[in-house]
Amino acid sequence: MKKITKKNPLKVVAYARTSSQTNVGKYKDSDKRQLRAIKSYCKNNKMEIAKSFYDANVSGSLPMDERKQFTLAIDFCVENNITTIVVENSDRVARDLVIQETIFMKCKSLSLKVICCDNPTLFDTGNQFIRQLYGAINQHHKDSIVARLKTARDNKKKDNKKKRIKTLTGDGKCEGAPQFYKSKYPRVVMKIKKLRNQEKMSLSAISRWIKDNYGIVNKNGDRLDPTQVRRIINYK
């Protein structure tokens, strides 16, 4: 085995993962932050990144075979006799204890070592208790985030229902498209409200009027459903 020096560094693969689509994109920092940490660690430990792999918008609770880039990273390691995968920290590997241990055993069977920049020996053989403790903490942290986000969504739905910002089913709106017609057809929205509130025109009649006068239809090319018209009328 060649001695690892500055002139002969250990070749490794860098792996990064981002769970949420909201943190993915050109102007987002998740992948860049992870890669910076990995590059810094490799530079300080005589390692050279042969290739980087990034799973964008991929949950840490998904198994390895459902992560395209992680699977490719392992295949690349096997094909190029690379024995080390470097990640920013353990929750980039998984946010589920069972998934983490499954990935660990798979890597071990292929003689692959996983190094976390913040805890390099975490995935070493013999570190089972500490590794699983970290895995349990990562899973608990994920579950806490999910619970907090659900509470926030529920509260927003309640607030929006009071403000009459509703979905087609009458629930408070929380996610989905913004008030599209109000921003694109403000004068039409004002006219629709007048037809309904002052002239007492039915929702179906307003839907036909919108199509006949402005050509406004739904994504299927049909006139708007009366419930869509009602939602437009309820725009604030």
pLDDT tier at 154, thresholds 50, 70, 90: confident
Give the architecture-level CATH label for domain 10-141: 3-Layer(aba) Sandwich (3.40)
Instruction: Please determine, for residue 227, whether its predicted confidence score (pLDDT) is greater than 50.
Output: yes
Average pLDDT over residues 6-31: 86
Give the per-residue pLDDT at 31. Answer: 93
Residues 165-180 as b/e (b if ≥16 CB within 10 A, e otherwise) read bbbeeeebbbeeeeee
Task: List, in sequence order, every residue forming a beta bridge with 116; answer none if it has no partner.
Answer: 87, 119
pLDDT of 116 reads: 96
Q: Spell out the SS3 assignment of the chain.
A: CCCCCCCCCEEEEEEEEECCHHHCCCCCCHHHHHHHHHHHHHHHCCEEEEEEEEEECCCCCCCHHHCHHHHHHHHHHHHCCCCEEEECCHHHCCCCHHHHHHHHHHHHHCCCEEEECCECCCCCCCCHHHHHHHHHHHHHHHHHHHHHHHHHHHHHHHHHHHCCCECCCCCECCCCCCCHHHHHCHHHHHHHHHHHHCCCCCHHHHHHHHHHHHCCCCCCCCCCCHHHHHHHHCCC
User: What pLDDT, on the 0 to 100 scale, is given for residue 96?
Assistant: 93
**211: phi then psi, degrees, rounded to nearest 5:** -70, -45
What pTM did the predictor assign?
A: 0.64
Task: Decide if pLDDT at 200 tops 90.
Answer: no
The predicted-structure confidence for 128-148, as pLDDT tens digits, reads as follows 999 999 899 988 888 887 788
Quickly state the pLDDT bin for 120 (edges 50, 70, 90). very high
Q: Per-domain residue ranges for the chain?
A: 10-141, 180-233
Confidence of residue 41 (pLDDT cuts 50, 70, 90): very high
Residue 189 buriedness (CB in 10 A; 0-12 / 13-18 / 19+): middle
Name the residue with tokens 């070493």: 124
Q: Which long-range contacts (CB under 8 A, 24 or more apart) does 65-74 make?
A: 67/17, 69/15, 69/17, 70/15, 70/17, 70/103, 73/13, 73/15, 74/106, 74/107, 74/110, 74/112
Could you tell me the pLDDT band of residue 69, with boundaries at 50, 70 and 90? very high
In this prediction, residue 223 has a pLDDT band, given cuts at 50, 70 and 90, of confident
Does residue 210 carry a pLDDT above 50?
Answer: yes
User: Per mean pLDDT, which range of 74-78, 110-114, 134-138 is the poorest?
Assistant: 134-138
Confidence check: pLDDT of 72 > 90 = yes
Res. 1 pLDDT band, cuts 50 70 90: very low
84 pLDDT exceeds 60? yes
pLDDT value for 157: 81
Mean pLDDT (the chain, rounded): 86
In the predicted model, is pLDDT for residue 178 greater than 60?
no
- Is the separation of the CB atoms in 94 and 132 below 8 Å? no
**Average of pLDDT values for 162-177?**
68
